[in-house]
């Protein structure tokens, strides 16, 4: 059995994964959702990587699962941990040495000013969205200006999951970036950008699935 280490996106709230964790443990695995200090003005990608490394310390078979901006943290952890798979959900797929701030122009994708409900909560159950209000955090600027912590894509099977109804990073856009940067096809899953909250069963099933199809396999 594997240890699934679940990395949140901007803001760093482990709560994002709270509907997926019990589904992974019910399947017989260990699941650890990492809480990151996203709002701290002195903690950036290197600190996030250290948090993940501590959370997974002593585990022999690690699957890193990262959502959105969490992909930057996941890639920086692959040299620190015995990673057997990467699963990236609605992810900002990083390039070596790229900062999260550079990612937008490098992928030709505009940052948007649309409201939270329109972009992220349109398919999240009302009670879940309400419960999440206390977990919302702003992401401090420091993480956006730090380069990704890897020099080349690791020799780890990598699956890219993309929400069919993601309004923040639409499916067609995610598919283009995955082809350009990794040479793979995305695996579509139900739900929007916060699919782990709106479609936890489908996300857990996709996480637990074998690396094929659509995976980058060294």
The residue assigned the tokens 């020099």 is 151
Q: What is the pLDDT of residue 211?
A: 66
pLDDT of residue 113: 67
Average pLDDT in the chain: 94
pLDDT of residue 167: 96
| C-alpha to C-alpha distance for 197 and 21, rounded to whole angstroms | 11
Average pLDDT of the residues in 127-141: 92
Tens-place pLDDT, residues 62-73: 999 999 999 999
H or E element, residue 142: none
Q: 89: which DSSP letter?
A: E
Task: Decide if pLDDT at 10 tops 90.
Answer: yes
Residue 5 forms beta bridges with which residues? 32, 64
Q: How far apart are CA 42 and CA 170, in angstroms?
A: 32
User: Would you say 33 and 62 are in contact if contact means Cβ atoms under 8 Å apart?
Assistant: no
Q: Check pLDDT > 60 for residue 212.
A: no
Tokens in use for 171? 């499916």
Helical spans, DSSP H, in 78-210: 100-106, 116, 126-132, 171-182, 195-198, 200-208
One-character DSSP codes across 148-173 = PS-SS--SS-EEEEEETT-SSS-HHH
Reference 150, options 210, 66, 212; nearest CA is 66
Q: Which of 217, 192, 202 is nearest to 90 (CA)?
A: 192
Q: Which CATH architecture has domain 3-216?
A: 3-Layer(aba) Sandwich (3.40)
Q: Encoding tokens for residue 208?
A: 């637990």
What's the N-to-C CA distance of the chain in angstroms? 22
Closest CA to 71 of 4, 148, 142: 148
Q: Residue 48 has what pLDDT?
A: 98
Contacts of 91 (CB under 8 A, 6+ apart): 66, 67, 68, 70, 71, 160, 174
- Rounded to an integer, the average pLDDT of 84-101 is 97
How far is the C-alpha of 13 from the C-alpha of 20, rounded, in Å?
A: 14
Average pLDDT score over residue span 169-174: 98
């Amino acid at each position: 059995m594997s240890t699934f280490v679940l990395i949140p996106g901007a803001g760093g709230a482990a709560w994002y994964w709270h509907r997926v964790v019990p589904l992974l443990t019910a399947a017989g695995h260990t699941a650890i959702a990492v809480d990151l200090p996203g709002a701290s003005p002195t903690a950036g990608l290197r600190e996030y990587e250290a948090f993940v490394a501590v959370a997974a310390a002593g585990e022999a078979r690690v699957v890193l699962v990262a959502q959105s901006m969490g992909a930057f943290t996941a890639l920086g952890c692959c040299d620190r941990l015995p990673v057997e798979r990467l699963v990236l959900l609605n992810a900002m797929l990083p390039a070596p040495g790229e900062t999260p701030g550079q990612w937008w122009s490098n992928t030709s994708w505009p940052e948007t000013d649309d409201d939270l409900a329109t972009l992220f909560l349109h398919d999240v159950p009302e009670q879940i969205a309400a419960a999440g209000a206390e977990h919302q955090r702003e992401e401090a600027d420091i993480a956006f200006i730090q380069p990704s912590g890897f020099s080349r894509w690791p020799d780890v099977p990598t699956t890219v999951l993309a929400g069919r109804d993601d309004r923040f990073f639409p499916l067609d856009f995610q598919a283009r970036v995955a082809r350009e940067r990794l040479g793979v096809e995305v695996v579509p899953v139900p739900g929007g950008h916060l699919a782990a909250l709106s479609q936890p069963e489908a996300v857990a099933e996709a996480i637990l699935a074998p690396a094929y199809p659509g995976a980058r396999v060294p």
